[in-house]
Structure 1
Amino acid sequence: MSPARRSGGRAPEPPATGAAAEDREPPTEEVARAILLRQLAAAPRSRSQLAGKLASRDVPEELAEALLDRFEEVGLVDDAAYAEMLVRTRHEERGLARRALAHELRLKGVSPEVAEQALEQIDDEDEVTTAVALAVRKARTTRGLDPVKRRRRLAGMLARKGYPPGVVMRAVEEALGGEGEDPGGEDLQ
């Protein structure tokens, strides 16, 4: 009996050494399909993300492409719907600007055309409204700080979320102006 069996543990699968470790068979279609379904059950994914997962599990490229094509055919993989959902939720929940969203879509392997179409659901006014709301919320947590430091913190937070400089400045002015602070940074009260 092996030491692993005697101690009640399981033998490593596959073994780290020996012929079985060197002679790995590529996953079958059933295994590859299970990988895809498990990934999609956890969270929506782009075709590129799924292809990367299959490649990391040594699924032959031809099999991966055939399965991904079939999953697209039946609607389980839809980059356009995925991109639209990601843009909508990241903008509403995290307040990300179009620039940050475009970067995230690029990282997830969504094509530029599909990303551009998904980003059309956020217009300039939506971006300004969200930036102002974020700045007002952040301004509440910085009360009592030096006015210059407050402006810098608000602007930095919005810039990290991908807002362009014009929108950042407008949002900071509106957030601090609503508190009675003048643009020069001194309190009016």
Structure 2
Amino acid sequence: MTRITRLEPSKHIRGRFLVFLEGGEESLLKVTEEEVLRFALHTGKELDDAALAQLIRAAGLSNAKATAARMIGARPLAKGELIHRLIQKKIPSDCAQAAAQWLEDIGAIDDLAYAKMLVRHYAARGYGPRKIRDEFFKRRVSRDCWDQALEELEAPDDAIDRLIERKLRGNVPNRKELNRVSAYLARRGFSWEDIREGLARYGAGLEEP
């Protein structure tokens, strides 16, 4: 049996309580009011191994939820990236996944809405579909959302035309300049076909590498 030697509210975080234990592997647990009420915690209460394990699990999940809420309060995150960041903070994988699922269930995270936001952001900065897909992958956006989010993306013609004009400034390019511009556009995530068509519109031809 493990006895609670002291139960007191946290001086730093409202709604959190500190549970000091005697004779257990965990000398201190941080819980919320929900766990205090659910487990009827009080100084002097004795917990058997099963009850202690349940309390530790509940405390871990509450901590994961609180940490996850703070993370998405700082900036939007995809569900997969949120789970990854929670695990990096030494939160058990099952608690991290449960916390992320809880936030998704209440509508606090939404991979599709987040993916559409990324599309608008990177399109406005003159990036193409491949760059945006790279960002989806890097930010661990669910692949189920990729195609639907990319439907928000307008045809790349105008963006490519603006970038070519910015680089060539109305000059007739030589082969070296064409290669430099095409490589630049490829790095920004545009396909070779779209690049070739853009250069053709500009008045130059480009053979696909």
Partner of 2:128: 97
What is the TM-score of this pair, normalised by structure 2?
Answer: 0.63
What is the TM-score of this pair, normalised by structure 1?
Answer: 0.69
Write out per-residue CA displacement over residues 146-183 of structure 1, whole angstroms, 9 at most, x where no aligned residue.
622321221111111121112112222334x3xxxxx3
Q: Which has the higher strand share?
A: 2
Which sections of structure 2, spanning at least 5 residues, go unmatched?
A: 1-26, 30-55
Residue 100 of structure 1 deviates from its aligned partner by 2.0
Partner of 1:132: 161
Residue 131 of structure 1 deviates from its aligned partner by 1.1
Which sections of structure 1, spanning at least 5 residues, go unmatched?
A: 1-22, 178-182
Question: 4+ runs of 1 displaced by more than 3 Å?
Answer: 23-31
Partner of 1:113: 144
* 8 Å contact from structure 1 (residues 154, 172) kept in 2: no
Larger Rg: 2
1:51 paired to 2:86: no
* 8 Å contact from structure 1 (residues 33, 67) kept in 2: yes
Q: What is the percent sequence identity of the aligned residues?
A: 28
Distance 1:30 1:113, change over 3 A: closer
Residue 82 of structure 1 deviates from its aligned partner by 0.5
Q: Which has the higher helix share?
A: 1
Distance 1:171 1:33, change over 3 A: same
Residue 30 of structure 1 deviates from its aligned partner by 4.4
Among 180, 183, 186, the residue aligned to 1:153: 180
Residue 55 of structure 1 deviates from its aligned partner by 0.7
For 1:174 and 1:99, the matched residues in 2 are separated by 22
Residue 92 of structure 1 deviates from its aligned partner by 1.2
For 1:158 and 1:184, the matched residues in 2 are separated by 15
Residue 78 of structure 1 deviates from its aligned partner by 0.5
Residue 39 of structure 1 deviates from its aligned partner by 2.2
Write out per-residue CA displacement over residues 32-55 of structure 1, whole angstroms, 9 at most, x where no aligned residue.
234323322332110010000111
Write out per-residue CA displacement over residues 81-104 of structure 1, whole angstroms, 9 at most, x where no aligned residue.
0001001111112x2211221222
Residue 117 of structure 1 deviates from its aligned partner by 0.7
